[in-house]
Structure 1
């Protein structure tokens, strides 16, 4: 009798640990979204309009919408776009964050790009604060999906299961996570960079090959950039 009671007690003490185990995906906690405090984008996630100039500078002076591969004459035609929307970030963990962390998230260039108003806002085909399970861009899916993982990792945000599945479906088929700058007709990359610069045909472009072809330093706007390793992530390789 004593032995039976001991076994029951042992099992019962282990149950809380089993219940507390968390499902993770790529280091992110997988759980349902939760709005643990009221949401007010303007008050809780403020940012300066000047970040638009920083976004353009980060894309080497191009006013470019990576979701569509579209170029604009000026940033007056674009919206500042949060890759992980403020509402999504709020419901994925920032609802419990400090005001300073929320402000940092809203102004972080890692989480910012440009988009035409009809893409950024609510409406047919619009992103409208959706997560990756609900909306994916027509172009630059690999860059977009990888950037979401980077942002959520940086701010310790969660993903729900549908979002994790959608992101995994994209990322599992990616060879590069660099932003692709498309031709003006939005159909194809500007040139076949590998055919031009990949001398040893290994699917990548080295700094030696870039210098041999007199294209170094290579900036993010150059067609070769997506096939090169930008170790420090500053948008320039082979400085």
Structure 2
């Protein structure tokens, strides 16, 4: 049993590392076509993360005035009875079983934030790598609701990841200066994902977040 668990954990981490490096599976390859979600046309994820971080605008966090999760319509329909959450669970799990109405009835998921293997989909949350409220404070308050919906349901890149509910809720809406994955070995991958998402959507970083991301990138 220990051997099977270790293999699953390693496989999950390897898959995420491959995605960040730009050599992931077809289903998670970032969409860099002209119709990709987002208000800008940036460098593709996988480019030099230190250079991407240096290119981000450093600015104080904006206010939360006007924010609500409803301003980021999420878990949109993806067809065949599935919503965004269902698709992420299917893509990032192993041996996933899907019943009528796209109900996930079984599978195994490795939560890379805390290295926990989960076999009950109800114990999995889909985390936004850059939290919705953090995006709002970083420039998404100026987007249209349509742009925010694309951000919240971005299946083309690194913004959505299946993790344990407990790790997702511990993170909340905090940025990298206030929360890091409990598994230190994942810091490099996490920082690269945050930098890629913020680059993709032309979001800002505050100075503390910039410094925290820079420190995590040094673990790569």
Q: Deviations over 1:12-51 (max 9, x none)?
A: xxxxxxxxxxxx942110010112751011x211112732
Consecutive unaligned residues in structure 1, runs of 5 or more: 1-23, 175-239
Q: 1:102 aligns with which of 138, 148, 169?
A: 148
Query: What's the TM-score, normalizing by structure 2?
Result: 0.62
Q: Verify: 1:114 aligned to 2:162, yes or no.
A: yes
Question: Which residue in 1 is equivalent to 2:92?
Answer: 59
**How do 1:63-82 residues align onto structure 2 when only pairs under 5 Å count?**
63-82=109-128
**How do 1:172-211 residues align onto structure 2 when only pairs under 5 Å count?**
172-174=218-220
Indicate the structure with greater helix content.
2
Q: Which runs of 4+ in 1 moved over 3 A?
A: none
Q: Distance in 1 between matches of 2:112 and 2:203?
A: 24
Which of the pair has the greater relative contact order for Cα pairs under 8 Å at 6+ separation? Answer: 2
Kept in 2, the 8 Å contact 1:88–1:129? The answer is: yes
| SS of the residue 1:132 aligns to | coil
Query: What's the TM-score, normalizing by structure 1?
Result: 0.57
Q: Deviations over 1:173-228 (max 9, x none)?
A: 20xxxxxxxxxxxxxxxxxxxxxxxxxxxxxxxxxxxxxxxxxxxxxxxxxxxxxx
Question: Which residue in 1 is equivalent to 2:28?
Answer: none
Consecutive unaligned residues in structure 2, runs of 5 or more: 1-51, 77-82, 95-107
Q: 1:129 aligns with which of 163, 173, 179?
A: 173
Question: Which residue in 2 is equivalent to 1:30?
Answer: 58
Indicate how the Cα distance of structure 1 residues 173 and 119 shifts in structure 2: closer, same or farther if over 3 A, else same: closer
Q: Verify: 1:170 aligned to 2:197, yes or no.
A: no
Rg: which structure is higher?
1
Indicate the structure with greater strand content.
2
Q: Distance in 2 between matches of 1:31 and 1:68?
A: 30
Q: Distance in 1 between matches of 2:87 and 2:178?
A: 28
Aligned residues: 146
Question: What root-mean-square deviation, in Å, do the aligned CA atoms of Structure 1 and Structure 2 show?
Answer: 1.8
Question: Which residue in 2 is equivalent to 1:141?
Answer: 187
